[in-house]
Amino acid sequence: MKDLTFEKYLSFDSSKANLDFVAELVGNDITKFKKLMDLALNASPKVAMRAAHVAERISRTNTEMITPYIDIILSQFFSFKHQGQKRAFTKAFSRIHFTEDQLGRVVDICFNCIDNPKESIAVQAFSMEILFNTSLKIPELRNELQLILEERMDEGSPGWKSRARNYLHQLAKLKKLNESN
């Protein structure tokens, strides 16, 4: 099995053990990570989703590995054929420091994801997290985030509503704190 390519490993099994195995194979090797990202962005939907999940796993301990691919991920985000790609990349985005230009694009993507009931709950949840954390640095986003969460509250699943209520509560606390200063 040593001579199998990442694509072959990723095409036959989506188990956590297999994804962890591929993540170990890639490690911090930039050349291998480049091949992995090529699969995450260009392979068949299932392989691309699994490769994206491996990239996300690697980014947990080494965000610098995924940083060179942020612009291409952002430009292709709404073209991904598998929700798992979006889920993996939004999860990775929750840990990444963006340039100003990238941050604007990430914010737009996240607001679009929250406002789209067809996006998966996980993508919407990570989008909420990214937007809330960004609003800690850019307070002007707080009102827009509050409005969209309140507008969508009736449509969301119980898990979505719980997460949204949590962020609305935190936004209210921040607003109260700012008003008292």
The answer to whether residue 76 is domain-embedded is: no
Residue type, 84: G
Domain that holds residue 48: 1-69
Q: What are the two backbone dihedrals, phi and then psi, of residue 78, each rounded to the nearest 5 degrees?
A: -80, 0
Within a domain: 89: no
> Are 108 and 179 part of one and the same domain?
yes
This prediction has a pTM of 0.91
| pLDDT in the model for residue 1 | 35
Q: Are residues 27 and 104 in the same domain?
A: no
d(CA 9, CA 4): 7
Element of type H or E holding 55:
helix 45-61
Instruction: Encode pLDDT of 112-147 as tens digits.
Output: 999 998 999 999 999 999 999 999 999 999 999 999
Q: Are residues 40 and 111 in the same domain?
A: no
Query: Does residue 39 sit within a domain?
Result: yes
> The tokens of 120 are what?
């998966």
Gyration radius of the chain's alpha carbons: 18
- Residue 50 located in a structural domain: yes
- Split into its structural domains, the chain has a count of 2
* 119 plus 45 within the same structural domain: no
Angle at alpha carbon of residue 119, lines to 102 and 76, rounded to 5°: 40
pLDDT per residue as tens digits for the range 39-75: 999 999 999 999 999 999 999 999 999 999 999 999 9
